[in-house]
Amino acid sequence: MNRNFSHFAVPVGVVAIVMLLVLPIPSWLLDVLIAINLLFALLILLTTMFVRRPLDFSVFPSLLLVATLLRLGLNVASTRLVLMDGFAGDVIQSFGHVAVGGSVVIGAVVFVILIVIQFVVVTKGAERVAEVGARFTLDAMPGKQMAIDADLAAGLISDSRARERRAEVASEADFYGAMDGASKFVKGDAIAGIVIICVNILGGLAVGVLQNGLDIATAVQKYTLLTIGDGLVSQIPALLMAVATGMIVTRGGSDDQLGASAAAQLTQSQIALFIAGAAAVLLGFVPGMPWPAFMIVGAGLAFAGWRMKRKTDASARAAEAAQSVPRPGGDAPEDLLDQMRVHALEVLLSPDLIDLVGGGANDLLGRVKSLRRKIALELGFIVPPVRTRDAVDLPPGSYAIRVAGVEAGRGQAPSGRLLALGDRLELLPGAATVEPVFGLPGKWIPAEQRHAAELAGATVVDRVSVVVTHLSSVITANAARLLTREDVRVLTDAVRAASPSAVDELIPSPLSLAEVQRVLQGLLAEQVAINDLTRIYESLALKARSTTEPEALIEAAREGLGAAIAARYVDGGRLRVLMIEPGTEQSLLEALRPSPLGSQIMLDPVVHERFTTALAREVEQAAANGFSPVLVCAPQLRPAVRRLVSATAAAELPVLSYSEATAGESTTIETVGVVRLAPQPASIG
């Protein structure tokens, strides 16, 4: 019932206001409507003071238009009664005689002052603020949208939260645009009030003198007082609405109510309160000044400053006590769940390394943010946020990197030191160490020895760069573990927006989101970028018609990305490869067997040892010649050979199929070695 009433209340009210312009109403009904108008304006003003944000009162522009229309309708109705009956209800009569003492001059002065306050001060200022606010809000809209997109891409907010923030930005722009137009209603209302009262005075004189036969003095006294009373009744609600308009458009960024914000900010400086109180007391001693009034005000300000000082001291003592006395963790379900949650990526710092996150140009948090963006562009997946915290159980000067709660790397970054890398570090002071990513020998030298180390030919690296490089290596090595089902859904939605057919032909049939995740994890496990998801999905859609085996799907995706995969290892237009001798390759094909974990090469232990020895020898020979080769083999062998190689000393050696190696049309293939099984030693006896 209440809901239906609210739906029809505004339309019925607007129709009733329109009827006021046409039909005469009795004086008692006019009194009721004037009271409603006055209280309605007061309610709107109070609401603007208690809302936390301007958008919480987004209906204000429409209410402003309705209130303006109501006042104009009441002006027409009251003018009709004044000119017809010489009486327009008790409210107007009271304002004309009691509020201004029955004096035409006083009434005219009061009315002019109200007009000046409303039109020149409040309305003019509110109109300008609304115009500037609308312009700045619209200009800032693209930047806010880009910030939301950046937060969504970085994984800082969810997709639903991004939609909410976009809706808030759009609503804010619409609101301030509407307020820019609504402020013109207030300005027009003030101008209309001036015109209406002038017309009423002239009309009243004409009716009183020409129709009712009154002398001019009596007509002026009677009709002008009624007109002024009518004007005051209209202009007081109009002034309240103008103040409400200024209030709503001048609200700042605080989320508190106006009263709470004003009280908190006016009393934030106890020194200002004491100085203002002392000034009030001094003014009380000026000859002729009413000293009791100034003394009371000064004492009140001094008391407020004293109360603020006590509150500040108590807060400082409480904060100091909270820091000195450790508190056990909360036992609320939310607290326990937060403590139980396993973070995807964590960087733990010993207490003496907290200065790494102290801000500045080389701040660890800023570098990690840039690293997440760099890896996202290189590998094509959203790196989860990295949680950085201190760990008192770590040795001094050390850090640890965790992936899903499991330590994946540990290193040193002693305070006040720089890492010097090179071959001739004997003359440099400091503790010898090994760089955690590339295994290079180095020394942690004092920061003031940077110039000496550079003169000695060493490469000097700051502590933040050491941690970030190590973190980058850990993220790249564990990219498959970090790619979650939710990440795949977000990436898939992005592909659907650009190329819907590529997704619709693949998900949810013939492949589920989980199966697609497994394929993408398989690509990332070999550090194959997945940023060309459209091509990957198209390749999977073709292959999934015949099989849904993960290994076959991964190879199909690799075939679609063949040129991009080979391009990573091309140097100067040449792809340097290690071949497998045809006879050896045939032996590997004959030993190929399926297994639950994918295809495996089941070699005799002696043959396996001979193959890995030959492979290691060729890799070492290529490295000695300054080459970084890749191993190529038949497509059906590639997954199994990759598993075989990953268990040897050449685990970092990329393995490509023939089709991948030859996908680049402008790439020259250069063979730098051939893997042959070493001859089996002759048996003795």
Task: Check whether 413 has a pLDDT greater than 80.
Answer: yes
The SS3 assignment for 267 reads coil
Backbone angles phi, psi at 389, to 5 degrees: -150, 165
Task: Check whether 684 has a pLDDT greater than 50.
Answer: no
Range 563-591 average pLDDT? 91
* Predicted local distance difference test score (pLDDT) of residue 244: 77
Half-sphere exposure in the Cβ direction for 4 (13 Å, CA): 1
pLDDT tier for residue 573 given thresholds of 50, 70 and 90: confident
Q: State the Cα–Cα distance between residues 227 and 202, nearest whole angstrom.
A: 10
Task: Read off the pLDDT of residues 461-474 as tens digits, 9 standing for 90 and up.
Answer: 888 889 999 999 99
Range 259-271 average pLDDT? 65
Amino acid at 434: V
pTM above 0.85, yes or no: no
- Residue 91 near residue 233 (C-beta atoms within 8 A): yes
- What does each C-alpha distance from 574 to 566, 568, 650, 654, 670 come to in angstroms? 10, 11, 21, 16, 7
Task: Read off the pLDDT of residues 274-296 as tens digits, 9 standing for 90 and up.
Answer: 787 788 778 777 777 777 777 88
Q: State the Cα–Cα distance between residues 19 and 635, nearest whole angstrom.
A: 85
567-675 belongs to which CATH class?
Answer: alpha beta
Range 321-326 average pLDDT? 47
pLDDT tier for residue 509 given thresholds of 50, 70 and 90: confident
Range 431-435 average pLDDT? 87
pLDDT tier for residue 327 given thresholds of 50, 70 and 90: very low
* Predicted local distance difference test score (pLDDT) of residue 349: 92
* Predicted local distance difference test score (pLDDT) of residue 5: 57
Range 20-31 average pLDDT? 78
Amino acid at 553: L
* Predicted local distance difference test score (pLDDT) of residue 416: 87
Task: Check whether 325 has a pLDDT greater than 50.
Answer: no
Range 475-493 average pLDDT? 92
- What does each C-alpha distance from 265 to 135, 231, 260, 308, 396 come to in angstroms? 28, 38, 8, 12, 44
Q: State the Cα–Cα distance between residues 526 and 503, nearest whole angstrom.
A: 24
Give whichever of 38-47, 259-268, 383-392 has the largest mean pLDDT. Answer: 383-392
Task: Check whether 630 has a pLDDT greater than 90.
Answer: yes
pLDDT tier for residue 298 given thresholds of 50, 70 and 90: confident
Is 340-480 a CATH 3.20.20.70 domain? no
The SS3 assignment for 684 reads coil
- Residue 249 near residue 40 (C-beta atoms within 8 A): no
Task: Check whether 120 has a pLDDT greater than 80.
Answer: no
Q: State the Cα–Cα distance between residues 277 and 297, nearest whole angstrom.
A: 7
Task: Check whether 254 has a pLDDT greater than 60.
Answer: no
Angle (CA) 135 147 50, round 5°: 60
- Residue 44 near residue 243 (C-beta atoms within 8 A): no
Q: Average pLDDT over the chain, rounded to whole? A: 79
Task: Read off the pLDDT of residues 374-402 as tens digits, 9 standing for 90 and up.
Answer: 898 889 888 898 988 888 889 999 999 99
- What does each C-alpha distance from 243 to 29, 47, 117, 124, 643 come to in angstroms? 27, 12, 10, 11, 76
- Residue 630 CB neighbour total at 10 angstroms: 20
Range 120-140 average pLDDT? 68
Residues 6+ apart with CB under 8 A from 633: 580, 585, 588, 641, 655, 657, 658
Range 16-29 average pLDDT? 77
Is 483-560 a CATH 1.10.8.540 domain? yes
Q: State the Cα–Cα distance between residues 106 and 102, nearest whole angstrom.
A: 8
Using H for helix, E for strand and C for coil, what is the string for 321-366? HHHHCCCCCCCCHHHHHHHHCCCCEEEEECHHHHHHHCCCCCCHHH
- Residue 365 near residue 383 (C-beta atoms within 8 A): no
pLDDT tier for residue 322 given thresholds of 50, 70 and 90: very low
Scan for tokens 């004492």, then name that residue. Answer: 299
